[in-house]
Each structure stands twice: as C-alpha cells, then as structure tokens.
A = this chain, B = another copy of it.
C-alpha cells in the first residue's frame, strides 16, 4: 500500500501537471486499467479515454488551485478539494483517488455538479 506521503505527492503532481500544461505527467500517475468518473454520475472513462480526457483538459488551459490541504485515509485512497480556473469561469470540485500497490491511481472520481460553477 502506498504511504500517505506517496499518495499526497501524486495528487500534488496532478495539480502541478495542470499548472505546467503537461498532460503526460498527469497521465503517468494512472494505472493502465484505471477508471475516471468526472463528474460523478456520468459514464466512466477507461484506458485510452483517460489519456484523451487529460490531454483535452490540460490542453484547454485549465488550472487547479487547492482550496485546503490534500487529505489521505487509513487505506489506499486520498482526496482533495480544489477550484478549476478557466477563462471567465471557476468550478468547485472534490476529487477522490484510489491507488494500487505500485502507487498508481486506479480510480479518480470527481464530485461537482451543474451548480458548482461560478463566473468571474
């Protein structure tokens, strides 16, 4: 099981990948069979769909700023609350990640609804 520090470092790398406009750094955090549900309540993405999703998301110029420190767990999960900044708009999100023994992300589920947008 990855340590708390390893999981939190992975989530920080996810934030940094957006900041640096580097989708491959984000994609590299995920296991090959990882599942992404973003937002929760929509169909899951897998495999090549995950890579495409992050190339589009990072390529859009979206940036992530943490609202509060990253949380761990007593298992192989970690979570973070953040704001996605896009031109003229922000989305308030909470992401939950699970990890495998190798420290790769096996699932990411993003909690945000149609009412979690604000315009700037």
Contacts and interface: CB of A to CB of B under 8 A. Distances in A.
A120 interface: no
A5 B73 CA distance: 28
Nearest to A83: B68
Given A79-B94, A94-B94, A94-B96, A114 B68 contact: no
Interface residues of A, number: 30
A114 B67 contact: no
A74 B115 contact: no
Nearest to A67: B68
A41 B75 contact: yes
Contacts of A87: none
A11 to B, nearest CB: 11
